[in-house]
A and B are shown apart, each in its own frame.
Chain A
Amino acid sequence: MKTKILFYLFIFLGVTLSAMAQDDASFEGEITYRNFENHNKVVLKFSKGMAYNGARNVKVLIKGYNMHIIDESLHMHTLLLPGEDKAIIFNDLLKKGQQFPFTEYVNNYLSSFSPEDHVVSGVTLSNTSTIKDTGETKEYKGQLCKIYKGQVIANNGGTTSDIELWVSSKYDIYKCYWYFVNGIQVPGIVLKWTYDTKGKVPLFGQMSSFVASELKTIEERVVTEEEMQVPSDYDITVSKSPFKVLKLYGSTTKYLKKNGMYPTQIESDVTYKIDEEWDF
């Protein structure tokens, strides 16, 4: 039961990792996003500080088939190295982290919005997705975006997510990028996306998360080898245990709060979101 709840939380929080990289796509560089996040009390309570209500800054570095996702707000890194069969989660303040086998990590935590079923601990979890190109286009940051919308019912009906993505085809991408959007198969870089996920955990009530992510910058550049490595002085434990990841988040939250660095402590402005445009 406890494992299921943990697993469920990871899915909810959209812990993002990498992908199977197998084509000749070519984007190499840095993408930054700013998230608006709003989670209900149940999610906040069980997430050990991973989830909070406010803004989150995320940087994505892509080099070849590898991807490095940096949650700048929590100082948490997710480094995906499919060629080495490694997925490493670490914190740059605590200088410690955890290493998973790549494929297992992808299966367990990166497929929550995938249209395909996936296997977790020998159990097949079915996903159904209605996400498709609406035929509508909108411009964002000077790029023309195709609008994708739909609903994903995941984990044998356990969660329902309403999703919208604004996708630009300006750059070619490796398929590994799909895992940044939790397995949604998009033909380009996502400039804006929202997911509104609801589910129910017996005994604990409804879990609900709304996240809206917007691209801030995109830069094609050479990503150095050092940027795709864990610094040598970091203490990395090899383990498949989700509880250890949760513990890492718990330690991170504790450290940030103690030092007045937790995102909700340092935000000077209230985080808001509007969907319409001002007339004046």
Chain B
Amino acid sequence: MRVFYIILISFTSLVYLQAQNDSVFRYDRGSLYMMMIKHPNLAFNKEIEYVFGNIEKPDRFNDHYLGVKSVQFAEDQDQVKNIYSFIKQVQLGKRMVAKWFNRDKQTGGFDMELVKERGNYNATMIDVNIAKERIRGLSLLEDAGERLLSHTYLVVNDIYYVDKSNRWQVSKDWLNFATSLAEPWLPGGDTGTGTSENPLESSYNWLYGGLMDNIKGFRVKVTSYLFRLKWNDEIAQQFYSQLYTEAPDIDVDKVMKFNESKDLFTLEYVGKVENVSSKTSLFGVKTNEDLIKKVCARALDKNLADLQHSFADFRIKAPLVSLSPLKAYIGMKEDMNEESRYEVLEIQFDEQGKMRYKKVGVIKPVKGKIWDNRYMAAEEEVAEARFNGTEFQKVSGGDFYEGMLIREIK
């Protein structure tokens, strides 16, 4: 009987510890809003847009979707300028903040539910009634700002089909013209679409002739532009004191002030990465939609990984899920290779309850044990897709425990 109690207590503690680790991990995610730039004048635009709208969101970020997936610019020579102007015109920073505080479109009131959820704050910890100026747990608001709001990102993906056919087509036209074989007014060469929501279903070009020629070499070029919500103590102070109001005592003046604020919430440009999708295996690909989805999903994952290589603040963290072997659920999708190195971080809390990271060691992936977690890797039936996590070996440090977070070192 005594043994039973010991086992029960140990098990309960383990569950509690695991739950705590999971919640800490959830807490530490950045929030990401992904958009794409569309190009109706380019081939496969509708297909790419459809696929982008249905692609799984990156699972290591909180989804900060604001309702608009794609934007089109009249002129596309300078996309950074375009995106900046778009952000300003639609007041995207303000919309991001509105989402964070769950703004009610009708009343203009805010609440702290999403902050609580993403920050893993319980009701006692964040017993804050800002509207009535009874602010308790102020350090948690600061913590929320530092850990949550200032890690709100926008990634705008400029995706287009790499078309190698055009030059050849023009040459062919010249040849035909020269030999008087040209049909003077040829039908449009695009993937004609009907009115179906899914262009991949309605386009007969995709179902019949010419399909395989295009599909085998289907490639996209993706440039991803990373922006970050600007959030600091000054902005937070202004927001909480002058603009934040919540039900049931909605302050109409504050609602109006928020509506009228134009320059308080802005995004800053962090940087960009650019890639052309690599050759894609047709293993497991059954439909055209599968292929476009696979090419686009992998290209987008590659760009997200590259943004993380390049910009430290944007790097994700993942928990160690086992010690023997050392294992975490990240892999090739995060662009991991044998040269990758990860710091192991221990979470500590200061006297105010603020969370800090302490580096306690470095690990690297074990050769041949890198998990292939890329989109549709399982359908390709590659052995690495069955690993269910990447195995690591220690480079330095020690006394790791499950739930510690790992983060890539550049």
Chain A residues with a Cβ under 8 A of chain B: 4, 36-40, 53-55, 134, 149-151, 153, 155-160, 162, 196, 198-200, 202-206, 208-210, 264, 269-280
Q: Is the CB of A271 within 8 A of B73?
A: yes
Q: Is the CB of B71 within 8 A of A273?
A: yes
Residue from B67, B70, B72 in contact with A278 in the complex, judged by beta carbons closer than 8 Å: B67
- B182: CB under 8 A from chain A? yes
Q: List 13 A-B contacts (CB under 8 A).
A: A38-B41, A38-B74, A54-B75, A157-B186, A198-B189, A199-B188, A203-B177, A210-B40, A264-B75, A271-B73, A273-B73, A278-B68, A279-B65
Chain B residues with a Cβ under 8 A of chain A: 40-41, 65-75, 81-82, 85-86, 88-90, 95-96, 98-99, 103, 105, 166, 169-170, 173-174, 176-177, 182, 184-190, 192-195
Contacts of A269 in B (CB 8 A): 85, 88-89
- Among residues of A, the one whose C-beta sits closest to the C-beta of B170 is A205
- Among residues of A, the one whose C-beta sits closest to the C-beta of B85 is A270
Q: Is the CB of B188 within 8 A of A275?
A: no
Q: Is the CB of B103 within 8 A of A280?
A: yes
Q: Is the CB of A36 within 8 A of B74?
A: yes
Kindly name the residue among B74, B86, B103, B177 whose own CB sees the greatest number of chain A CB atoms within 10 A. Answer: B74
Query: Known contacts A55-B74, A276-B67, A280-B98; is A158 also within 8 Å of B90 by CB?
Result: no
Q: Is the CB of B192 within 8 A of A274?
A: no
- Among residues of B, the one whose C-beta sits closest to the C-beta of A35 is B74
Contacts of A202 in B (CB 8 A): 173, 176-177, 182, 184, 186
Contacts of A278 in B (CB 8 A): 66-68, 90, 95
Contacts of B193 in A (CB 8 A): 162
Query: Known contacts A37-B74, A203-B177, A278-B90; is A210 also within 8 Å of B187 by CB?
Result: no
Q: Given contact pairs A150-B195, A264-B75, enumerate 12 new A-B contacts (beta carbons under 8 Å).
A: A4-B184, A38-B41, A40-B41, A160-B188, A198-B189, A202-B173, A270-B74, A274-B70, A275-B70, A276-B69, A277-B67, A280-B66
Contacts of B88 in A (CB 8 A): 269
Residue from B95, B98, B174 in contact with A203 in the complex, judged by beta carbons closer than 8 Å: B174
Query: Known contacts A38-B72, A279-B67, A280-B67; is A272 also within 8 Å of B89 by CB?
Result: yes
Q: Is the CB of B189 within 8 A of A208?
A: no
Q: Is the CB of B73 within 8 A of A160?
A: no
A206 vs B189: C-alpha distance when bound (angstroms)? 8
Q: Is the CB of B82 within 8 A of A272?
A: yes
